[in-house]
Structure 1
Amino acid sequence: MNGSFAALAVNFIGFQLLWFVAVYGAARGWGAAALLVLLAMQAGVWALNRGWRRDAPLLAVGALACLLCEPLWMAPQLIRYVDWPAGWLAPAWIWALWLGFAVSFNYCLAWLRRRLMLAAVFGALGGVFSVTVGIRLGAADTPHGWWALALVYGVVWAAVVPGLAWLARRLEEERRDYA
Structure 2
Amino acid sequence: MLITRSTVMRWYPLVHLGLYQATWFAALMGGAAMHWWPGLAAGALMLAIHLALSTQRRLTLSRLVQATLLGVLTDLALAATGAVSFAGCACVVPPVWMVVLWPCFASLFDDLLRWVPERPLLAVVLGGIGGPLAYLGGAALGALTFPWGSVAGLFAVAAAWAVATWVLVLIWRSVPRASGPVEVA
| TM-score bucket (shorter structure) | 0.7 to 0.9
User: What RMSD over aligned residues (CA atoms) do the two structures have, in Å?
Assistant: 1.9
- 2:162 counterpart letter in structure 1: A
Displacement after TM superposition at 1:163 (Å): 2.3
Please give the per-residue CA displacement for 1:27-67, whole angstroms capped at 9, x wherever unaligned. 12334311111111122223333542131122111121123
Q: Distance in 1 between matches of 2:11 and 2:44?
A: 17
The 1-side partners of 2:21 and 2:176 are apart by 24
Candidates 72, 77, 97, aligned match of 1:72: 77
TM-score, normalised by the number of residues in structure 1: 0.87
CA distance in 2, matches of 1:48, 1:120: 28
| Deviation of 1:168 (Å) | 1.3
Alignment of 1:22-171 (within 5 A): 22-86=27-91, 88-171=92-175
Tell whether the 8 Å contact from 2:51 to 2:61 is kept in structure 1 after alignment: no
**1:82-104 deviation per Cα after TM superposition (whole angstroms, max 9, x unaligned):** 11122x21000111011211222
Compare the two structures and name the one with the higher helix fraction. 1
Contact 1:23/1:31 (8 A) holds in 2: no
Query: How far is 1:131 from its partner?
Result: 0.5
Equivalent residue, structure 2, for 1:21: 26
Normalised by the length of structure 2, the TM-score is 0.84
Is the contact made by 1:110 and 1:165 (CA closer than 8 Å) also made in structure 2?
no
Q: Which runs of 4+ in 1 moved over 6 A?
A: none
Q: Determine if contact 1:7/1:45 at 8 Å carries over to the other structure.
A: no
Unaligned runs of 5+ in 1: none
State the Cα distance separating 1:4 from its structure 2 match: 3.8
Counterparts in 2 of 1:75 and 1:117: CA distance versus 1, 3 Å: same
1:39 is matched by which residue type in structure 2? Answer: A
8 Å Cα contact 1:122/1:158 also seen in 2: yes
1:4–1:49 contact (8 Å) kept in structure 2 = no
What is residue 182 of structure 2 aligned with on the other side?
none
Contact 2:147–2:153 (8 Å) recurs in 1: no
Q: Contact conserved, 1:7 with 1:49, CA < 8 A, in 2?
A: no
Q: Give me the identity figure in percent.
A: 25
Return the offset for 1:123. Answer: 0.3
Distance 1:126 1:17 in 2: 17
